[in-house]
Amino acid sequence: MDALIFDFDGLILDTELSELQSWREIYTEYNADLPLEQWAKCIGSGADSFDPIAFLEAQIGRRVERDDILTRRRKRHLEQLAAEVLLPGVETYLHTAKRLGMKIGLASSSSRNWVSGHLTRLGIADFFDVMKCGDEVAHKKPDPELYLGVLSAFNISGDKAIALEDSPNGVLAAQRAGIFCVAIPNPVTSQLDLAHADLRLKSLALMPLEELIAEVEKGRQSASIAGVIEDGS
């Protein structure tokens, strides 16, 4: 494996829980509900894939003060995020990937300012050789454009990389770029269907990167053998 490609939101930093909670607090003010299956539309694919204010207005049957809600909701979200730290195993994976001589990339549907700001705050920005963000592409996840951009920058094919994701949309994006994708869900995305992931872990801290690479290579070898058998039958 030549490259390790990280998602950001919910994978490096758990932004997902505070994002959902801050919106649900707004909904509670209006005696409305924000079901996870609705919110899931934007997880991994960016805020423009679901309009929570329009969904709120449809429930209560009237217009609301959009700017006021957006300001208050974002303030609450950022307050909660200030206490968040790197998710377990992330820093160890970064150090191990560097030691193994792997290229380290990042593919996120969020904006570069959002991602870069948090990576700098967390002290890990310098680990990443290439970053592709949602405001730099025409199509966000589950489209593979972000991942294809990282692969192109590294000048490698998808079978030489491993992607780390937390959401169904992210997994699809990586797989559509031909990349083996490992799902590491957080408390929000663990409630979603991730059965299509090539491998699922509860935490990066539970499997060293060297062991993960061995699992990926073993899985690819098995798939290759199965393909030969099928073609010959």
Q: In 63-194, at which residue ranges do the beta strands (DSSP E only) sit?
A: 103-108, 130-133, 161-165, 180-183
Which uninterrupted H or E stretch holds 6?
strand 3-6
* Cα 117 to Cα 63: distance, rounded to the nearest angstrom: 33
From the list 191, 149, 199, 189, the residue with the least C-alpha distance to 169 is 189
Let me know if 33 is a catalytic residue. no
Catalytic residue among 7, 143, 166, 198: 7
DSSP state of 214: H
* Helices first, then strands: H and E counts in the chain: 9, 6
Is 68 among the catalytic positions? no
Task: Out of 2, 9, 14, 231, pick the active-site residue.
Answer: 9
Which sequence positions are flagged as catalytic?
Answer: 7, 9
